[in-house]
Amino acid sequence: MARPRPRTLPTPDRPIASVYDAAYTGVPNWDIGRPQRAFVALAETGLIESPVLDVGCGTGELSLFLARRGHRVLGIDLSSLAIRQAKAKAEWRRIPSQFLVWDALDLPGLAAGGLSFRTVVDCALLHILADRERDRFVAGLETVVRPGGLYCVLGDARRDPRDVYGLSPAELRERFGDGWTVEFVDKTVFERRFSANPAYVAGIRRTPA
């Protein structure tokens, strides 16, 4: 898997990058030091196929777990500090892996670099995006997920239907319309360092060619 040229890096129009860099100066509550159990279960079912793109990979626990299982994985994150930490973990653990500072809202930039993926894993990225950002992200997925490929997402369950934050089965089925099939949406939990929230894990397949 070739390393794409980083033509789109965090810029002033994405000031949230500095917010996440600040979070990763410590240990944010979502960084639990291991992959979420929901993704471990998905991997054990054999649903995850290489090559894999891990969007919003943070410090790389999910990417490294999948790489250790033999998958070819590229982890991307807006936070340069998180990516530095992910690379350091990979070196310490001697796990071959690739990490890149990259905005997940610019997935077409990866496609322009010749990259495509059988699986995209999303651990708590989609659930924090604003409405228009979600539209942009889903459109970007269409450029990097191969026909027949799978997008797997985990996020907090939406508590209030008037809120944007979180996920709901209805929204996933509406947002992924033509060209996609929602294969499953299951109730689960999103684990944090000192708590766990009700969540959904979903698998959404791009229509085969």
Q: Where are the domains of the chain?
A: 16-206
Q: Is 16-206 in CATH node 3.40.50.150?
A: yes
Question: Which has the higher per-residue pLDDT, 2 or 27?
Answer: 27
| Predicted model pTM | 0.92
Sequence-distant (≥ 6) Cβ neighbours of residue 60 within 8 angstroms: 54, 75, 82, 85, 86, 87, 89, 90, 97, 99
| Alpha-carbon span 182 to 141, nearest angstrom | 14
Q: What is the mean pLDDT of residues 23-32?
A: 92
Question: Which has the higher per-residue pLDDT, 122 or 17?
Answer: 122
